[in-house]
């Protein structure tokens, strides 16, 4: 499924961390690990020999070598495509993902074509209920028509979220004040109900828009290394929160979920610290060791720096002190220590501090 592909995309970052830690540990180059502690594969502690006295590679080693090869191939393909460095997927996987999204979009539009324009267009649907309210206002309120409108509108908005307006694929409208498609029509109907929580707009936000963001968080599909993800998600968040009154319980709940997600993602990082003076071992190092050293220096530094920059630029302005405390705690307890250790290692990190 689409979710599985996106989840595996993020899992690969964690595999990269674990593989780098294990390679450096086996090479005697690992000083320590900050944050999450990857498990030590049990197979590495026992040397297994076949009947001819040859070392039998464990399944863990074989899987790690397979992932290393996959990363090299993806790196080459990414350079050809010109993707940003967070695009940790092969060309074949990207094409497969695109085909699945196209198939989903075609199926959704085919289903909508079977409906009358009066019910497949949000403006037309709102206009229909608006006429009902104008003609029979008492009956409209007595039969909870506003709730029905919200439920019907929610289906159409979900179609928008599945296509071009997904929180992680948000594209700014030409007129940014327009916001999420359909919300203007529902906002115009909000004066029908006296209680804010009973308006069609509030109900749609509660039943569709906020759950769309929560689903992304629950599936761990939000890649903090991706500037595209961060900007898209934060823009979507701003549009959603503008639809709700200030100090709304829904906004407070969503803010807490976002901060918890960011805290957990930072805590999930396994940050290998390389022993000082490892440069003497480079000449005899294998390709896997050299790649692990490159990741432990410039690679993870770029990744962590990008995550922190995305949080500060896109999320700190809207989440405020709740998020700033999380960022400061991470920077003071781990990131600064990493920077200090990198200044003592040569030669791979020299260029990092000159740039």
pLDDT per residue as tens digits for the range 288-322: 888 888 888 878 888 899 999 999 999 999 999 98
Give the containing element (helix H, strand E) for 297.
Answer: none
Mean pLDDT of the chain: 76
Distances 35 to 17, 152, 268, 269 between C-alpha atoms, Å: 11, 46, 7, 6
Tokens of 57: 């590679």
pTM to 2 decimals? 0.75
**Rounded to the nearest 5°, which phi and psi values hold at 195?**
-85, 125
pLDDT at residue 72, rounded to an integer? 79
Phi, psi of 173 (to 5 degrees): -75, 160
Q: Label the pairing between strands 270-274 and 30-35.
A: antiparallel
Chain CA centroid to CA 300, Å: 17
What is the structure's pLDDT at 252?
Answer: 92
Among 66-70, 228-232, 284-288, name the one with the lowest average pLDDT: 284-288
Residue 177, pLDDT > 50, answer no
> Is pLDDT of 173 > 50?
no
Cβ atoms of 339 and 34 closer than 8 Å: no
Mean pLDDT of 225-245: 85
Measured distance CA(330)–CA(203) in Å, rounded:
37
Cα–Cα distance, 9 to 12 (Å, whole number): 6
**From residue 275, how far is each of 32, 121, 278, 346 by CA, in Å?**
8, 62, 6, 10
Which pair of structure tokens corresponds to residue 255?
Answer: 């803010």
Structure tokens that stand for 168 in this block: 């992680």
């Amino acid at each position: 499924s689409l979710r599985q592909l996106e989840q595996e995309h993020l899992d690969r970052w964690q595999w990269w961390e674990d593989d780098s830690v294990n390679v450096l540990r086996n090479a005697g180059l690992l000083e320590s690990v900050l944050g999450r502690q990857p498990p030590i594969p049990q197979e590495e502690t026992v040397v297994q020999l076949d009947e001819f006295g040859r070392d039998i590679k464990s399944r863990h080693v074989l899987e790690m070598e397979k992932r290393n090869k996959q990363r090299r191939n993806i790196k080459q393909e990414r350079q050809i495509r010109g993707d940003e460095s967070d695009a940790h997927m092969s060309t074949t996987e990207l094409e497969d993902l695109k085909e699945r999204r196209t198939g989903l979009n075609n199926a959704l539009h085919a289903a909508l074509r079977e409906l009358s324009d009066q019910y497949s267009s949000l403006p037309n649907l709102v206009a229909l209920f608006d006429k009902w309210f104008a003609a029979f206002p008492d009956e409209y309120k007595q039969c909870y028509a506003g709730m029905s409108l919200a439920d019907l509108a929610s289906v159409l908005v979900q179609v928008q979220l599945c296509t071009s307006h997904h929180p992680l694929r948000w594209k700014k409208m030409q007129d940014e004040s327009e916001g999420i498609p359909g919300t203007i029509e529902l906002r115009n109907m909000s004066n029908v109900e006296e209680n804010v929580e009973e308006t069609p707009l509030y109900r749609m936000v509660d039943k569709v828009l906020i759950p769309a963001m929560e689903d992304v968080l629950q599936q761990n599909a939000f890649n903090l290394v991706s500037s595209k993800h961060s900007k898209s998600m934060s823009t979507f968040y701003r549009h959603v929160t503008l639809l709700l009154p200030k100090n709304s319980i829904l906004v407070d709940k969503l803010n807490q979920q976002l901060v918890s997600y960011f805290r957990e993602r930072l805590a999930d990082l396994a940050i290998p610290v390389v022993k000082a003076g490892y440069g003497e071992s480079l000449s005899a190092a294998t390709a896997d060791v050299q790649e692990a050293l490159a990741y432990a220096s410039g690679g993870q530094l770029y990744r962590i720096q990008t995550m922190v920059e995305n949080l500060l630029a896109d999320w700190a302005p809207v989440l405020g002190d709740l998020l700033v405390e999380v960022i400061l705690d991470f920077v003071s307890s781990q990131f600064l220590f990493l920077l200090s250790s990198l200044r003592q290692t040569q030669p791979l990190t020299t260029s990092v501090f000159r740039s």
